[in-house]
Amino acid sequence: FFFFFLMIRRPPRSTLSSSSAASDVYKRQEERESREIASLTKIMTLLVAIKLIKRFNIDPFTSIVPISEYAASMTGTSALLESGDKLLLNDLLHGMMLPSGNDAALAISEYFGEVLKATVLPPIDLDPKQQKEYINRLSPRKLFIKEMNRLTQELGMQETVFANPHGLMNFNNHSSAQDVAKLVSAAMKEPYFCQIVNCKRHVCKALDEKQNEKSFSWKNTNKLLWKGFYGIKTGITPTAGPCLATSIEREGISLIVVVLNCKTLNQRWIEVRKLSKWAFSRLKKVNVLEEREKVLQMIVHVCCAALGESSLIY
């Protein structure tokens, strides 16, 4: 099955960075489908990282993140990190989102997990030695994933559970097209998030384990950035299929489009452009936002009927 979701984002009051106005999501309770979403998981990883940067007053342009052996061993898409490398946090965030680095995502979860670990209070009924052992046993990665799931609940993503920070195959790591659209809508209120996901190429320097300087150059995997689209993230695993979450704005109308389990990698670009073009051709004829919402709901129903899939998500 092919799954998709369309959402109208209310026009920003002034600039993109102030687009925190409410958005409108169209859904039917019985048509939500929770499934693996591959590297779209990294949208939540980035949003949690940004929220923790703000909460703990962390400067991503001066904070250095060491790359563990475990992070460097991650399979799948990679930022080509090696054990012992040291990168600025800002660079590491780009390494996660542009080349879809699973190694970078794991390193980010470890780094912020340590930050969260420092705030954990052990049970008061333990003696000092036991309290220290309790803290030492905590997994930074698991603490970060717990924070991902806490934010999931806060955003009302009812079909979503995260089990890792990168989206590699895991049946316990799942979401829906609708929930991903909610996540994107929330994330795009963060200017730093928008800056990273709309970056086409990022070049940076780092240090290896012997303190020698090395360079990285990452190109964004999202081909639609060169076609007028804005972000957000690509993804693919054998179980999730090709996935894409993106956004586009034309003539004051802003859409978020999420597609899951496309037939091929190339089909992602084709389906998103077809869906957005069709939606815009109808929405631009309607001036009132509330009427546009009704038209979009009708468009989704027609898409479902045309594709002949009763379990499509809109």
Q: How far is CA 153 from the centre of its chain?
A: 16
Edge-first strand listing for the sheet containing 86-88: 64-66, 86-88, 201-207, 213-219
- The model's pLDDT over 233-289, given as tens digits with 9 standing for 90+, comes to 999 999 999 999 999 887 777 788 888 888 899 989 998 888 888 777 776 666 545
Amino acid at 217: S
Q: Two tokens at 220?
A: 């964004």
Q: What's the mean per-residue pLDDT of the chain?
A: 83
Cα separation, 28 vs 33, whole angstroms: 11
What DSSP state is assigned to residue 37?
-
pLDDT category, 18, cuts 50, 70, 90? Answer: very low
Structure tokens at 254: 């802003």
According to the model, what pLDDT value does residue 137 have?
92
In the 8-state DSSP scheme, what is residue 120? P
Instruction: Return the bridge partners of 207, or none.
Output: 86, 213
pLDDT at position 81: 98
Q: Helix or strand or coil: residue 252?
A: coil
Query: Packing angle between helix 89-97 and helix 41-55, nearest 10 degrees?
Result: 160
- The region, left, alpha or beta by phi > 0 then psi within -120 to 50, assigned to residue 110 is alpha
Q: Which residue has the tokens 């949003």?
A: 47
Using the predicted structure, report yes or no on whether residue 156 has a pLDDT greater than 80. Answer: yes
